[in-house]
């Protein structure tokens, strides 16, 4: 059995408060953290490959470090290059049958991507695994993972009649399935594909609405027999080991969104965002901001390990409210909290629908976005599957709370930049989950210091 890993940087969960003051000008260049979704997949898939991979610009937040800890606990050798945190990883793949039983419970912390992707991987391994997470993750739905994996023959159970983590997995033999995803979830799709690599027979997945496709792109790059046609994916089990891929992870468009929107809604701003991932399954936020009237330019488009990236320039703009719903929702689901801030300053109403998934994220983001932005003076009417934001009302700084949700903490910081007076954000340490350098980067583009 592999020894539980030690030696990764540990984070303080001490309550942290940040105060944001409006600043006269926003200007500068933003270098983003690596994309979180791509980083999880690069670590997991290279762990299964034969050979060594070097991953540069690996996402530095707690979520991806939780994935590394779990993989190390499963016997994968992962080391960092140099002393700069986990910016560059060297992963020595174990090959497709090299994972080992962990000696302890695996901890996904706050990361549903870690839990769901590893859930899919571990049902096909010949050993027992138990995987848990923090309070928020233990309250997020896992039935959506357990049900399709059981159709593949998996022995997987969860708390609350198979609804929640901790999950118990007795890995074993699996069979491929032909399955229509009932919700557009890339985590569930990826979990089934990971299980499918170890199943007997073909796995076919049909999506009614497509979700982010990083797993499909990376599996193809690594030599898996995967074909995508329209909204269907067909995967054959591994007959040859995956080939490791070196990559420089593109910047995370979900992290870019805070600076895009800050630059667009601030009355005096110009921000350049470098090397940002622009995979079309992720760029819903760009399409919506352009449709709202944003001055936003995409320059220098290129490809890196099968993923498109570019530089993005934004300037102060006059926005008009818009209706957002339907197929675009999975392409911007994580950006909706900060899009709501843009809606607060836009002319007219912004209506968000078909986004009921927001209720089962790190917090109930319909409730928390509406309540915290309302404290700042916004008028937001929550809907069962979205919200109506009445734009054009001035915001005034006051005390708000992140609800331990990283995306809410950063969205409130953007709101604080245009609110009158001081905005104090409680539990601001939540940003550690995806963007540990967020406050520093924000400081670098403001001419007056947030404290």
Q: Are strands 247-248 and 226-229 parallel, antiparallel or unpaired?
A: unpaired
265 or 409, CB closer to ligand S3P?
A: 409
Least Å from the CB of residue 282 to ligand S3P = 10
Min CB(396)–ligand S3P separation in Å? 31
> Are 428 and 404 a contacting pair, CB within 8 Å?
no
411 touches ligand S3P by CB under 6 A: no
Residue 114 contacts ligand S3P per CB under 6 A: no
Give me the least distance between CB of 351 and ligand S3P, in Å please.
21
Helix ranges (H only) for 205-252 are 214-221
Smallest gap from Cβ 128 to ligand S3P, in A, equals 25
Which stretch in 77-85, 182-190, 263-271, 298-306 sits in contact with ligand S3P by CB under 6 A?
A: 182-190
Region binding ligand S3P by CB under 6 A among candidate stretches 13-21, 150-158, 161-169, 183-191: 183-191
CB of 383 to ligand S3P, least distance (A): 19
Beta-bridge partner residues of 49:
none
C-alpha R_g of the chain? 21
Question: According to the binding rule CB under 6 A, does residue 441 interact with ligand S3P?
Answer: no
Binding test (CB under 6 A) with ligand S3P, winner from 22, 32, 37, 442: 37
Tell the smallest beta-carbon distance from residue 39 to ligand S3P (Å).
9
Q: List the one residue out of 326, 292, 298 whose CA is nearest residue 312.
A: 298
> Which entry of 334, 354, 385, 401 is annotated as an active-site residue?
334
Query: Which alpha helices (H) appear in 6-74, and where do they start and end?
Result: 36-48, 62-73
Q: How far is Cα 113 from Cα 91, in angstroms, rounded to an integer? A: 19
Active site residue 252: no
From 21-29, 181-189, 221-229, 423-431, give the range in contact with ligand S3P by CB under 6 A: 181-189
Minimum distance from residue 316 beta carbon to ligand S3P (Å): 29
The contact pattern for ligand S3P, residues 339-378, with x = CB under 6 A and - = no contact, is: ------------------x---------------------
Give dist(CA 344, CA 99) in Å, integer.
Answer: 49
Distance CA 196, CA 31 (A): 36
Helices and strands counted in the chain (H then E): 14, 25
**Does position 110 bind ligand S3P by CB under 6 A?**
no
Which residue, among 57, 43, 53, has the nearest Cα to 277 in the 3D structure?
57
**Total binding residues for ligand S3P by CB under 6 A?**
11
Query: What is the spatial distance between Cα 408 and Cα 242, in angstroms, rounded to a whole number?
Result: 38
Interaction of residue 111 with ligand S3P, rule CB under 6 A: no
By CB under 6 A, residue 47 contacts ligand S3P: no
Nearest CA to 61 out of 90, 32, 83, 100 is that of 32
Single out the residue of 134, 334, 335, 405 in contact with ligand S3P (rule: CB under 6 A). Answer: 334
Of residues 212-231, which lie at the interface with ligand S3P (CB under 6 A)?
A: 212
Distance CA(152)–CA(121), nearest Å, equals 12
Which window, 147-155, 184-192, 320-328, 347-355, contacts ligand S3P (CB under 6 A)? 184-192
Going across the sheet that includes 128-132, the strands are: 106-107, 128-132, 164-170, 155-158
Residue 177 or 332 having the CB closest to ligand S3P: 332
When asked if residue 324 is in the footprint of ligand S3P (CB under 6 A), the reply is: no
| Residue in the block written with tokens 């022995």 | 155
Tell me: does residue 187 bind ligand S3P (CB under 6 A): yes
Is 415 a residue that touches ligand S3P (CB under 6 A)? no
Query: Rounded distance, CA 264 to CA 277, Å?
Result: 19
Q: How far apart are CA 290 and CA 196, in angstroms?
A: 39
Minimum distance from residue 357 beta carbon to ligand S3P (Å) = 6
State both tokens at 21: 């003051």
Which residue has 């990883």 as its token pair?
89
Helix (H) / strand (E) containing 380:
strand 379-383
Tokens (6 digits) for 226: 């995967």
Single residue of 333, 358, 400, 445 touching ligand S3P by CB under 6 A: 333
For residue 66, the minimal CB distance to ligand S3P (Å) is 13
Continuous H helices in 324-429: 336-345, 365-375, 406-418
Q: Is 255 in the site for ligand S3P (CB under 6 A)?
A: no
Q: Are the C-beta atoms of 122 and 131 separated by less than 8 Å?
A: yes
- DSSP-assigned letter for residue 413: H
Asked if 107 is part of the footprint of ligand S3P (rule: CB under 6 A), the reply reads no
Whose Cβ is closer to ligand S3P: residue 40's or residue 427's? 40
Residues taking part in catalysis:
334
Binding-site ranges for ligand S3P (CB under 6 A) = 37, 113, 185-187, 190, 211-212, 333-334, 357
């Amino acid at each position: 059995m592999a020894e539980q890993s030690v030696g990764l940087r540990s984070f303080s969960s001490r309550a942290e408060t940040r105060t944001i003051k409006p600043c006269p000008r926003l200007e500068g260049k933003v270098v983003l953290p690596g994309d979180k979704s791509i980083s999880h997949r690069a670590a997991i898939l290279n762990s299964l490959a034969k050979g060594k991979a070097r991953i540069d610009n690996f996402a530095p937040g707690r979520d991806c470090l939780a994935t590394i800890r779990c993989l190390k606990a499963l016997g994968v050798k992962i080391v960092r290059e140099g002393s700069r945190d986990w910016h560059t990883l060297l992963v020595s793949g174990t090959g497709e049958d090299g994972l080992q039983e962990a000696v302890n419970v695996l901890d996904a912390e706050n990361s549903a991507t870690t839990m769901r992707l590893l859930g899919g991987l571990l049902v096909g391994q010949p050993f027992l695994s138990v995987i848990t997470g923090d309070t928020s993750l233990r309250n997020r739905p896992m039935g959506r993972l357990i049900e399709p994996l059981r159709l593949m023959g998996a022995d997987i159970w969860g708390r609350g009649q198979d609804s929640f983590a901790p999950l118990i997995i007795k890995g074993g033999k699996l069979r491929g399935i032909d399955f229509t995803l009932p919700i557009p979830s890339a985590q569930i799709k990826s979990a089934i594909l990971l299980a499918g690599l170890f199943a007997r027979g073909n796995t076919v997945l049909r999506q009614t609405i497509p979700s982010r496709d990083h797993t499909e792109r990376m599996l193809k790059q690594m030599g898996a027999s995967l074909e995508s046609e329209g909204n269907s994916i067909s995967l054959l089990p591994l007959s040859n080991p995956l080939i490791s891929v070196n990559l420089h992870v593109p910047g995370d468009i979900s992290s870019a969104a805070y600076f895009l929107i800050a630059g667009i809604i601030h009355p005096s701003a110009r921000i350049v965002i470098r090397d940002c991932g622009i995979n079309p399954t992720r760029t819903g936020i760009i399409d919506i901001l352009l449709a709202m009237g944003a001055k936003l330019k995409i320059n220098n488009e290129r490809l890196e390990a099968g993923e498109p990236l570019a530089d993005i320039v934004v300037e102060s703009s006059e926005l008009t409210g818009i209706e957002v719903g339907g197929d675009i929702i999975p392409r911007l689901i994580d950006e909706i909290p900060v899009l709501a801030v843009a809606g607060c300053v836009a002319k007219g109403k912004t209506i968000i629908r078909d986004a009921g998934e927001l209720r089962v994220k790190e917090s109930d983001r319909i409730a928390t976005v509406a309540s915290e932005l309302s404290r700042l003076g916004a008028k937001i009417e929550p809907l069962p599957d979205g919200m109506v934001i009445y734009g054009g009302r001035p915001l005034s700084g006051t005390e708000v709370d992140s609800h331990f949700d990283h995306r809410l903490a950063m969205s409130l910081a953007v709101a604080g930049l245009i609110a009158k007076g001081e905005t104090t954000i409680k539990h601001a340490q939540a940003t550690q989950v995806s963007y540990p350098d967020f406050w520093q980067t924000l400081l670098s583009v403001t001419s007056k210091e947030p404290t």
